[in-house]
Amino acid sequence: MIGAREPLDPEIVAALRRAGEQLGNQELLAQLAGLFTDNAPLRLEEIRGAIARRDAPRAERAAHTLRTNCAVLGASELAACCGRLEEAAACADFDAASARLAEAEDRLPDVLAAVTALAAEKSD
């Protein structure tokens, strides 16, 4: 993608590191990253199933949850994509929701790789 940014916003990642230090939890970022890598694929699967069943409320909720989780870790572009998915689901526009789901699935591997790298970091 032309003009694509990093999968994670470095300012948000730095803010999470500072928050962990201030809270005395040097593993906060790694913990959040681990939760994300465990749950993001499950949310996409939940959305895929909800779209297949034409269950707009469930697809909307799962997209909202994933959008929020992405935003917390600074996966801003994926969060925006999930926001569009959430909007499509809220309107029960399953064709648009399917297209937005495909976009999210395309973006997720880069985000997961970046988040996995964060989870593997050890504080000094």
Q: What total of structural domains would you count in the chain?
A: 1
Residue 23 lies in a domain: no
Q: What percent of the chain has pLDDT over 70?
A: 94
Tell me whether residue 7 is exposed, middle or buried, using C-beta atoms within 10 angstroms of its C-beta: 0 to 12, 13 to 18, 19 or more.
buried
Residue 104 lies in a domain: yes
In a domain, 57, yes or no: yes
Residue 2 lies in a domain: no
The answer to whether residue 1 scores a pLDDT higher than 70 is no
Q: Mean pLDDT, to the nearest integer, of 47-64?
A: 98
pLDDT, one tens digit per residue, over 70-105 is 999 999 999 999 999 999 999 999 999 999 999 999
Q: How far is CA 60 from CA 56, 80, 87, 94, in A?
A: 6, 14, 7, 11
Please report, for the domain that includes residue 85, its CATH number. Answer: 1.20.120
Q: Comparing C-alpha atoms, which of 96, 92, 88, 108 is closest to residue 40?
A: 108
Question: Is the residue at 13 inside a domain?
Answer: no
Distance CA 113, CA 45 (A): 18
Burial of 104 (0-12, 13-18, 19+ CB in 10 A): buried
Structural domain contains residue 16? no
pLDDT of residue 118: 85
The whole domain housing 69 covers 28-119
Q: 6 in a domain, yes or no?
A: no
